[in-house]
A and B are shown apart, each in its own frame.
Chain A
């Protein structure tokens, strides 16, 4: 195992951490279950690819545009959530994968099934990012995503989302403009996904419609559910686990879809709060262990 290989795995893991943090706001906080998150990711990646190859914009110049595009598309795609019930939202987000995938595939502007290739590596003060540099760049964005998530989790917006996630009617009676905050959730979530998409496109150097299909949406949701819906630590940990484990255990790789699907189903049945979510077995255990440890240190002192 070379360092370059580890850094590559690390970079992809970072990109998925941004995606799980993104989904955490939509599904973890606002309880809008999305089985179409790869579509938002794909829109970001395609926006970055097109801006770089057709308009010659640099990664940095394109990034604000990518975020703007994904935010606006997110708002637009979030509108159905105002009309349909939870169950139907799940179905319509599944549909999203196929709609967005088809648009990429059948419109020549998006490169058709040949995709878009030769996306340049970003530069920083004239120097192209190497493997190490890109790993650093990705984790700078992961850090940014974590910090903004922490910030957001302390705002009234998060509280509003938790409230209507539990009881929409009661939330309305509190004076919460539920429609507004649902759209916020879609907008913020899809802005994050846009950044993840841009990082992906410039790292891989090409984008194809099948990179952003339904199976990828399941991956992202499985990571978040595994780590713990509604928690930042869970989002980060889940992405790490499901990205790194299959790399370590090579034979699993061919069964990726099976693993993600099984993880999703098993977690929902046995530990819906995730491994590190609120009230989860491991989280409570680790708190207990920490407390034990502290007490041990305290009593051990002379």
Chain B
């Protein structure tokens, strides 16, 4: 479904992503594990069309989308939960959710997606008219995920949702991605520093270090890998 080949991202002279190749299949949950500064956000930004790659190709659902603008990618079924959520703090929760559905617009699609979001995060329903900026950290992440779901994505890109969450919320939030795969047949690409939690929910993973993929394998393989154990699992 998603095929990335030899992708490079740079900011001036700083190379953030180098020669990254990876793929995500239909109904697959895949993690990109990497420490702070490894290049996870740069990778997802390039996939979303928010930064222009220096080289390489991105194909999504059999189309070469490397040069497509973001709005086109969203229409094709890509959505992003940005790092830190990046909700619109001055707008109401309702408007934030509506904005997620910017490319949908049909009343039916909107109602269906809202129902899905409320079933996953009932708390958002109570907060609809509240300014999004007044939500707690966990609620903000829920809103960011809910907002991305409003576009009926086929592949969801998720940038460090676990960051800043209360530890006991993390499995719950990450668990929703498994649920989404089950109910909606969605695929998810999960960028995480928190390897321990991420490798609990995904099928496969890539380890990113200084912008390069240094390791790839199934979740089980990665959990058993000595390098991963010492560097990312703290064992």
Contact = CB atoms under 8 A, between A and B. Distances in A.
Interface of A: 156, 159-160, 162-163, 166-167, 169-177
Contact of B50 (A159, A166, A169, A176): A169
B118 interface: no
A189 B39 CA distance: 41
Contact of A173 (B50, B75, B91, B105): B50
B71 A159 contact: no
Contacts of B37: none
A290 to B, nearest CB: 19
Select the residue from A162, A169, A173, A177 with max chain B CB neighbours within 10 A: A173
Contacts, number: 62
Given A166-B89, A172-B50, 12 more contacts: A156-B105, A160-B99, A162-B88, A169-B86, A170-B87, A171-B99, A172-B71, A173-B48, A173-B82, A174-B103, A175-B70, A177-B71
Contact of A163 (B80, B82, B91): B91
A169 B102 CA distance: 15
Given A167-B88, A174-B100, A174-B151, A159 B75 contact: no
Nearest to A172: B70
Interface string B42-53: 000000111000
A177 B80 CA distance: 15
Contacts of A175: 70-71, 73-75, 102-103, 151
B88 A176 contact: no
Contacts of B103: 174-175
B1 interface: no
Contacts of B147: 174
Nearest to B103: A175
Interface string B74-93: 11000110100011111100
Nearest to A177: B71
A240 B172 CA distance: 54
A175 B49 CA distance: 10
A287 to B, nearest CB: 15
Interface string B83-124: 000111111000100111011010000000000000000000
B171 interface: no
A163 B86 contact: no
Contact of B82 (A156, A159, A169, A177): A169
Select the residue from B49, B74, B95 with max chain A CB neighbours within 10 A: B74
Interface in B19-78: 48-50, 69-71, 73-75
Nearest to B151: A175
Contacts of A174: 74, 99-100, 102-103, 147, 151
A176 B71 contact: yes
A176 B150 CA distance: 14
A155 B226 CA distance: 55
